[in-house]
């Protein structure tokens, strides 16, 4: 049995959000796993003194991964993320509390595929959308 | 008004594919990625737990949806484009787009080819220019099937002293 079926999805529905404090551990683990070994994400000394930032900043790619967690935690193994689009509007400094959210914008059928269009984004602790995006996911249907 | 940053040499690179970049996907790469995106929570078993993967409809663990961000495909193309235009003040990641056509599994061998897909510039109030570069890359697996497409927008700000005069 699938976790979520296409028929049960409602336009306007908000998915359960994903909140995380993105600390040094989260950034460094992701830097390694994503092969994104860039000083502004890893080296506080460099970030502060050379790049003149308050501290190291969260990778856009990590914010995108958190948005994907919203989709996959909701839809389970039978959800397929077909398309992702994201733009990086504002920096998030390490230790910021990030919340990834998604809301259903439309449902449609394309051939045999049952597709759901979503707006998704990451917001910072002040509720500002620092990385807005969109996704298309495929879900199983009951029929 | 003519371009102040974009050159004919740069435009000639639009659509020209890079040499193939081959990556073998190892199980541990997928598991490490799964762990990093979930930390400090437990990784999603579909991307981490081999027993869970075997029982899934995929028959093995698969890569998380945005795993493509860890793939190399863009560097070579950016390096080829860079010398065709002048120095800029600051560069930024304008955004990404990914399309996923089939799951990436341990043992897959993916071949990527990147290309410059678009060039656009717009004037800035200070007399400088914002250059918008679009890149695109396809990932093809060992069966010759398309696994994913990645699109990347890079933004570059040129100061008024870094652009061609009219």
Q: How far does A137 lie from chain B, in Å, by closest CA?
A: 10
Handedness of CA B18, B22, B25, B30 (dihedral sign): negative
DSSP strand E in chain A: where?
18-22, 80-86, 96-110, 113-123, 129-139
> Cβ(A5)–Cβ(A20) under 8 Å?
no
**Is B50 in the same domain as B125?**
no
**Is B113 in the same domain as B44?**
no
- Nearest 5°: phi and psi at A18? -130, 115
**Is B103 in the same domain as B114?**
yes
Q: What is the mean pLDDT of chain B?
A: 96
Q: How confident is the model at residue A131 (pLDDT cuts 50, 70, 90)?
A: very high
Q: How confident is the model at residue B3 (pLDDT cuts 50, 70, 90)?
A: very high
Residue B10 has pLDDT above 90, yes or no: yes
**Is B112 in the same domain as B95?**
yes
Give tens-digit pLDDT for B85-125.
999 998 888 889 999 999 999 999 999 999 999 999 999 99
Angle between helices A60-75 and B27-38 (to 10 degrees): 90
User: How far is it, in rounded angstroms, from Cα B134 to Cα A141?
Assistant: 36
Question: How many angstroms from the chain centroid is the CA of residue B122?
Answer: 23
Give the A-side interface with B, CB within 8 Å: 25-26, 29-30, 32-36, 60-62, 64-66, 68-69, 71-73, 77-78, 80-88
Per the CB < 8 Å rule, is B37 touching A84?
Answer: no
| Percent of chain B clearing pLDDT 90 (strictly above) | 93
Full set of structural domains in chain A with CATH:
6-138 (3.10.129.10)
Question: How many angstroms from the chain centroid is the CA of residue B80?
Answer: 15
Nearest CA in chain B to A34: B70
Give residue B84's domain range. Answer: 8-25+71-162
pTM of the model: 0.93
> Cβ(A138)–Cβ(A113) under 8 Å?
yes
Residue B166 has pLDDT above 80, yes or no: no
**Is B88 in the same domain as B157?**
yes
- Give the residue among A52, A56, A70, A48 at the shortest CA–CA distance from A26: A56
Q: How far does A86 lie from chain B, in Å, by closest CA?
A: 5
**Is B82 in the same domain as B131?**
yes
Residue B3 lies in a domain: no
A85-108: average pLDDT: 96
| Percent of chain A clearing pLDDT 90 (strictly above) | 95
- Give the residue among A26, A134, A141, A130 at the shortest CA–CA distance from A70: A134
Q: How far does A12 lie from chain B, in Å, by closest CA?
A: 23
A26-52: average pLDDT: 94
User: How far is it, in rounded angstroms, from Cα B59 to Cα B34?
Assistant: 17
Q: In CATH, what number is assigned to the domain containing residue B138? A: 3.10.129.10
Give tens-digit pLDDT for B148-161.
999 999 999 999 99
Could you give the number of structural domains in chain B?
Answer: 2
**Is B86 in the same domain as B146?**
yes
Residue B2 lies in a domain: no
**Is B115 in the same domain as B34?**
no
């Amino acid at each position: 049995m699938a976790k979520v079926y296409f028929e049960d999805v409602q336009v306007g529905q908000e998915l359960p959000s994903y909140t995380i404090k993105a600390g040094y551990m989260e950034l460094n683990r992701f830097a390694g796993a994503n092969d994104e070994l860039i000083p502004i994400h890893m080296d506080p000394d460099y970030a502060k003194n050379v790049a003149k930032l308050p501290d190291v900043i969260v990778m856009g790619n990590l914010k995108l991964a958190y948005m994907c967690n919203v989709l996959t935690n909701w839809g389970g193994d039978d959800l397929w993320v077909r398309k992702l689009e994201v733009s990086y509007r504002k920096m998030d400094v390490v230790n910021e509390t990030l919340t990834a959210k998604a809301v259903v914008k439309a449902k449609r059928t394309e051939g045999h595929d049952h597709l759901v269009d979503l707006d998704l984004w990451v917001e910072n602790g002040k509720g500002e959308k620092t990385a807005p995006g969109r996704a298309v996911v495929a879900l199983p249907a009951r029929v | 008004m003519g371009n102040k940053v974009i050159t004919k040499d740069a435009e000639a690179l639009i659509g020209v594919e890079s040499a193939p970049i081959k990556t073998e996907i190892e199980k541990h790469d997928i598991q490490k990625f799964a762990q990093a995106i979930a930390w400090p929570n437990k990784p999603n078993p579909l991307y981490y737990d081999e027993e869970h993967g075997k029982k899934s409809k995929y028959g093995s663990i698969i890569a998380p949806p945005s795993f493509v961000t860890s793939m190399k495909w863009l560097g070579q193309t950016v390096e080829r484009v860079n010398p065709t235009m002048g120095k800029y003040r600051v560069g930024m990641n304008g955004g990404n787009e990914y399309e996923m056509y089939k799951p990436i599994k341990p043992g897959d061998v993916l071949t990527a080819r990147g290309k410059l897909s678009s060039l656009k510039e717009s004037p800035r109030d200070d007399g400088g220019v914002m250059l918008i570069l679009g890149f695109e890359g396809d990932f093809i697996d060992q069966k010759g099937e398309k696994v994913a497409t990645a699109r990347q927008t890079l933004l570059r700000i040129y100061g008024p002293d870094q652009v061609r005069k009219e």
